[in-house]
Amino acid sequence: MHSVNRFLPIFFFFISILGIAQNRYTISGTVTEASSNETLIGVTIAIPSLRTGVTTNEYGFYSLTLSQGTYELQITYLGFEDIVETVTFDQNRKMNFQMAEKAQILEEVVVTENVEKLNISKPQMSVNTLAVQTIKNIPVVLGEADIIKSLLLLPGVSNAGEGASGFNVRGGAADQNLILLDEATIFNSSHLFGFFSVFNPDAIKDVKLFKGAIPSRYGGRVSSVLEIFQKEGNSKEFKMNGGIGVVASRLLAEGPIVKDKSAFLIGGRASYAHLFLPLFDVDNTAYFYDLNTKLNYKLNANNNLFLSGYFGRDVFAISDNFENIYGNSVLNLRWNHLFSDKLFSNLSLIYSDFYYGLELDFVGFKWNSGIRNFNLKYDLKHYLSDTFQVNYGINNIYYTFNPGKIVPNSPDSGILEEQLTKKYANEFAAYVDVEHSLSSALSLQYGLRLSHFIRFGQDELNVYENDNPVIFDPFLLVYQEATPIGTITPGRSEQLASFTNLEPRIALAYTLNPEQSVKASYTRITQYLHLLSNTSSPTPLDVWTPSGPFVKPQILDQYALGYFRTLSEGEFSLETEVFYKDIQNRIDYIDGANLIANNAIEQVILNGQARAYGLELLFRKNEGRFKGWVAYTLSRSEQRTPGRTPSFDNGRSNRETGINFSNWYSTPYDKTHDVSLYGSYDLNKKWRFNTNFVYQTGQPTNYPVGQFQFEGLTVPFYGLRNEERLPDYHRLDISATLTPKKNDKRKLQAEWVFSIYNVYSRMNAASINFRRNQDTGVNEAVRTSIFGIVPAVTYNFKF
């Protein structure tokens, strides 16, 4: 071990020297689920008498260093029986704990001493976690449990409505969310254009959403980090579970390869509603399928290997004329190594790919595009003491961007093969993150991330006069595409552009008393990738592009202040936060921008700025037969792109107007008011009831403000961007879960879930279009709605 430590950074060597004190000892180990050996994330190992403790990391590991003495340890985790154990710290030792799931208890729970109060003193803020069981309980459309739809019930999280893909966090765009599945990047989180998410809840162990105060180990997206970990597999016995629903079914199997040492997990899911379309003489297809896999192998007490993967595809076809196939593929090989009882490391080699394919038979060509990356990560966590821990590591990602390739689908189609110019880039980062308790009242989390992005050469690059791909017409007051004055062919080894940014992060918590604290944070993040989309909800056809000669990286500065409180010994909790976000270089589009199959996307893009600010409230009931929460968000999300010359002056015709005359305008994901209520009630051992209600201010949109006649045609014209709004959105969902009495002679356990989505059949507007009525000749507005009332039933089982 000493030979290995000599290669560790000198900085952390000195830190470890400072952390050594006489008569201090360390216990370390892992916390697992007793029935499966599944490691548990975020378990609290607390010393109530000292009001200190630690939590297990993403692999169930913990390390706790204290002065010599005898202490009472309390190990707690939501949904599991507490463990209380007296431990004498007189030597370094390994202590692994196994936790058993709680039996169903319907009586009101009386908490005598809630060690979860320790979270009040932790500096981490702007984070929401959802238990997988809670996600499965929340009523959703067509009865399919959905992680993304469940997140929409949290404060500061919304989307563009029913059938919309992606999600928006604190007024940010969907492409500003970093979505990680077992550390691998997911570029499109939706099935069937937004009706379902790609995450199978049966295969998921942990879900955590960072909205602010994002630790330095994360980077590359300026709005949020959604971190999801798959289960590792049951290494004790073979288990299966699944479900049969109205539109989709799923099945998951897990079990030991070598008992207590190695395990596998494999889960599949598929929709089949399209199989019934021929009964209605409909020759169309719309379905999805996905596969989750994981293998783990315990080499010895200090080394573990994991191999995890995900593969998903969506297929949408109209007769024989049109076929659309898209989806994600990820693979991750990880090695956990324990250098000592205080130093944990994880090395990951990750592959991620998003593919989009389109075949238009009536036109005679196939189209495919996508983004692919290879990621090497090495993370270490140093547990120097119960008051001082250090995370540090490096991360390198190599990207290949395919904006599109056209291929004829038959020799006589008349279409010529064409490959839009591929782009290549590399993103490197090194970080350090410190968790530091200065006193019993004041705790800090501070860190620094250094990111370096290189845009490599490509087959062809346009050259413009004055390096300006977008020109302004001072007479028409419009932006137009510039004509290239030539092209160059830089080699792949050349650098078209490079960017280096320092990203400081700091968060602090000041404990007023064991039930109350105030927290504050500042976060700077740089985002080098951009999703080209001028719609309110991203589509699979949208393409990613890297920062480069004409597109600058987005840079976020976010400030947050919060007040946190537990009530009635932890039965209730209150979280309140205010935030302000400022984003530099948010891309905007000139009027009439064409983003599809555009080989010179720089000709329709301008660099603007964005801001968002608001108030979030979350009140939870955590214990008893009835549990749930109320979430409210009051916020604004705005964007503007001023002219690139000094402020517009009507007296000077050479001044640029900017977009929207340089004024701030609402982004498509601006929701002034957002209210969510969720409740779960256990009536008895057989019946459980769940409900949620959602209300949101209508999303910004554009309506025509007038019309004119041109060559016999009536042409509408529009005012400033996003001045109008769709009608407010609201709906109520309910579900009931029936768990039949279990026959002790059978291993099969089952439940029926009956749900009604949109109980009062609110026809929420997905869009409003304007047209001339063919009968009356009068212009009219037509509302398009996705769902009315939708009943569903799902049968879940496990054995």
The mean pLDDT value of the chain amounts to: 88
Per-residue burial over 277-298, b = 16 or more CB atoms within 10 Å of its CB, e = otherwise? eeeeeeeebbbbbbbbbbbbbb
Q: Is the pLDDT of residue 630 over 90?
A: yes
Overall average pLDDT of the 751-778 stretch: 85
Nearest to 338 by CA among 744, 30, 132: 30
Q: Is the pLDDT of residue 115 over 50?
A: no
Other residues' Cβ atoms within 10 Å of the Cβ of residue 784: 10
- Confidence at residue 277, expressed as pLDDT on a 0 to 100 scale: 64
Nearest to 150 by CA among 139, 163, 165, 161: 139
- Confidence at residue 280, expressed as pLDDT on a 0 to 100 scale: 59
pLDDT, tens digit, 9 for 90 and up, residues 593-609: 888 788 889 999 999 99
- Confidence at residue 282, expressed as pLDDT on a 0 to 100 scale: 65
CB 221 within 8 A of CB 210: no
pLDDT, tens digit, 9 for 90 and up, residues 375-394: 999 999 999 988 899 999 99
Q: Is the pLDDT of residue 212 over 60?
A: yes
Q: How is residue 647 annotated by DSSP? A: S
- Confidence at residue 654, expressed as pLDDT on a 0 to 100 scale: 57
- Tell me the one-letter amino acid at 430: A
What is the CA 596 to chain-centroid distance, rounded? 25
CB 605 within 8 A of CB 591: no
Q: Is the pLDDT of residue 548 over 80?
A: yes
Q: Write the burial class of residue 572 (CB in 10 Å: 0-12 exposed, 13-18 middle, 19+ buried).
A: middle
d(CA 294, CA 255): 11
Overall average pLDDT of the 703-725 stretch: 79
Q: Is the pLDDT of residue 237 over 70?
A: yes
Residue of higher predicted confidence among 15 and 531: 531
Overall average pLDDT of the 122-139 stretch: 88
Q: How confident is residue 586, by pLDDT bands cut at 50, 70 and 90?
A: very high
Q: How confident is residue 744, by pLDDT bands cut at 50, 70 and 90?
A: low
d(CA 220, CA 546): 11
CB 725 within 8 A of CB 670: no
Helix (H) or strand (E) holding 17: helix 10-19
pLDDT, tens digit, 9 for 90 and up, residues 343-352: 999 999 999 9
In percent, the amount of the chain with pLDDT more than 90 equals 60
3-state class (DSSP) for residue 772: strand
Overall average pLDDT of the 345-360 stretch: 93
pLDDT, tens digit, 9 for 90 and up, residues 644-699: 876 544 544 457 888 988 999 999 999 999 999 999 999 988 999 999 999 999 99
Beta-sheet strands, E only, within 113-198: 127-129, 157-158, 168-169, 177-181, 184-185, 190-191, 196-197
Overall average pLDDT of the 581-589 stretch: 94
Beta-sheet strands, E only, within 386-494: 388-408, 418-419, 423-437, 442-456, 461-463, 470-473, 478-481, 486-488
Which neighbouring-strand residues pair with 345?
Answer: 337, 380
- Tell me the one-letter amino acid at 126: S
Distances (CA, A) of 767 to 84, 185, 666, 782: 56, 31, 17, 8
- Confidence at residue 371, expressed as pLDDT on a 0 to 100 scale: 95
Percentages of the chain per state (helix, strand, coil), in multiples of 5: 10, 55, 35
- Confidence at residue 278, expressed as pLDDT on a 0 to 100 scale: 66
pLDDT, tens digit, 9 for 90 and up, residues 362-375: 778 888 999 999 99
Q: Write the burial class of residue 331 (CB in 10 Å: 0-12 exposed, 13-18 middle, 19+ buried).
A: middle
d(CA 52, CA 433): 19
CB 543 within 8 A of CB 551: no
Overall average pLDDT of the 499-510 stretch: 96
CB 189 within 8 A of CB 180: no
Q: Write the burial class of residue 115 (CB in 10 Å: 0-12 exposed, 13-18 middle, 19+ buried).
A: buried
- Confidence at residue 666, expressed as pLDDT on a 0 to 100 scale: 95
Q: What is the pTM of this model?
A: 0.92
Q: How confident is residue 104, by pLDDT bands cut at 50, 70 and 90?
A: low
Helix (H) or strand (E) holding 697: none
- Tell me the one-letter amino acid at 656: E
Nearest to 236 by CA among 257, 211, 209: 257
